Structure 1
């Protein structure tokens, strides 16, 4: 296995590579239903019409893949990253960051200065990467985003920012009994969640959904997610202009 730095990361356009990417997408997420799979023909059409497909190869083996397209909403134009998938055993190795970096390069080369994407906010590792590592800001909370009963947090990443803004830290420690509940501070709020997906329960998800809905309704945005200890990770929210 090559090191992360040795992987070849580049745009992905060929029909064979896109078919392989579709297979990787199914394998990583465990999707079997037709509505959840990724059509290689759709990827080819996107690649030929302004979409962006990025792959990472270890030799001849495709080990990661990201794709997206230009979006326009609310008078703003941006790059929307629909998904980044990394082969089993490589999550957390930095491959995803390289894919995101190539997406950023391509977006900027096309005159786009912001990137958006959605993720399940109960996944604290993803939240840490998106908010605390890359420096994206969670600006929109969408319950039942894809009609599957699961909520998504939509983040916005300023592609012109060379380094992330300072990450706000939690001001208290939290127990498992407080997972999903809001702790309000002065002009800020914290929400603790399980640090591991295996500890997530429907009750915690329901409390988180209520907490996030209320915080976004109050005009706050998600700024960071940091691991408190082996059991708990903590989101920090501040005002949108903080």
Structure 2
């Protein structure tokens, strides 16, 4: 990883800190992250993503091997995580491409970890490797989208990385055919991660928030109108939407629509997402 002509140089102390943070996270997770270079690696990465997104049930492919080869050959970010001591066992894949303004933004399009490796720190290490790669090129902002109903991802993005919300995207990808997203609207939240600054730590008291969205006694979403005097609101949502989809797809859809209406409406009125608490609670304030 080396800086390219024409892009600005990031302070060496920031890069050194990013190197240390990636190294510590990789050691904790017991993995090594390496850039994908060959067609064989691209084919393996494509199969891994298909496994993570359960496309065997639908016959679609998340990311064609040829497209992965083209991305890496064009100089975009394409990497895989391998278990230390077992270099041939790929457990995760991350793919990103350059965004606008050119030379300052990386859009991280997809990142997946094998189901058995989730919760062991691989995702954090992969994201920190991607940040280090960007900083070495002078890129200081990373964006991506995620399903705002997946609580563990929302918590990781806001609490661990310190992202900020950019916009709520209703049915962003249209109808998706993979086993994880099939049959539901593809609402996404776009977030931005400043790579050259420490993670922001929101100082808000959730106990002081007005409950704008919460579950009623039957587990149904209940949306309440925000009082004019409120300065902090909370939006509760299911802690495990994936399991809920399997048990009650209709209820999962009602939560999708409720969060879309509540969160989208608040943001349109000038409210700002501060963070997401563990278990599924967004906190928003009005500047």
After TM superposition, give the deviation of residue 3 of structure 1 in Å. 6.9
Partner of 1:51: 76
Partner of 1:133: 160
Partner of 1:191: 235
3-state SS, counterpart of residue 89 of structure 1: helix
Q: Structure 2: state its 5+ residue gaps.
A: 1-25, 176-184, 246-251
- Would the alpha carbon gap of residues 118 and 182 (structure 1) be closer, same or farther in structure 2, given more than 3 Å must change? farther
Verify: 1:211 aligned to 2:259, yes or no. Answer: no
After TM superposition, give the deviation of residue 16 of structure 1 in Å. 1.1
Q: For 1:17 and 1:182, locate their aligned partners in 2 and report how far apart those are by CA, in whole Å.
A: 50
Higher radius of gyration, 1 or 2: 2
Q: Structure 1: state its 5+ residue gaps.
A: none
- Would the alpha carbon gap of residues 183 and 76 (structure 1) be closer, same or farther in structure 2, given more than 3 Å must change? farther
Aligned length: 234
Q: Is the 8 A contact 2:99 2:106 kept in 1?
A: yes
Q: Is the 8 A contact 1:139 1:222 kept in 2?
A: no
Q: For 2:203 and 2:238, locate their aligned partners in 1 and report how far apart those are by CA, in whole Å.
A: 20
Verify: 1:233 aligned to 2:280, yes or no. Answer: yes
After TM superposition, give the deviation of residue 128 of structure 1 in Å. 0.2
Q: How does 1:24-173 map to 2 (within 5 A)?
A: 24-32=48-56, 33=58, 36-58=61-83, 59=86, 60-72=88-100, 77-148=104-175, 149-166=185-202, 168-171=204-207
Q: Is the 8 A contact 2:104 2:138 kept in 1?
A: no
Question: Which of 269, 272, 277 is equivalent to 1:221?
Answer: 272
After TM superposition, give the deviation of residue 34 of structure 1 in Å. 5.9
Q: Is the 8 A contact 1:118 1:154 kept in 2?
A: yes
> How well do the aligned residues superpose, as a CA RMSD in angstroms?
2.5
Verify: 1:176 aligned to 2:203, yes or no. Answer: no
After TM superposition, give the deviation of residue 173 of structure 1 in Å. 9.2
Q: For 2:225 and 2:45, locate their aligned partners in 1 and report how far apart those are by CA, in whole Å.
A: 42
3-state SS, counterpart of residue 101 of structure 1: helix
- Name whichever structure is richer in strand by fraction: 1
Q: Deviations over 1:97-126 (max 9, x none)?
A: 000001101111111111000000010111
Q: Is the 8 A contact 1:180 1:208 kept in 2?
A: no
3-state SS, counterpart of residue 107 of structure 2: strand
Q: For 2:106 and 2:259, locate their aligned partners in 1 and report how far apart those are by CA, in whole Å.
A: 28
After TM superposition, give the deviation of residue 188 of structure 1 in Å. 3.0
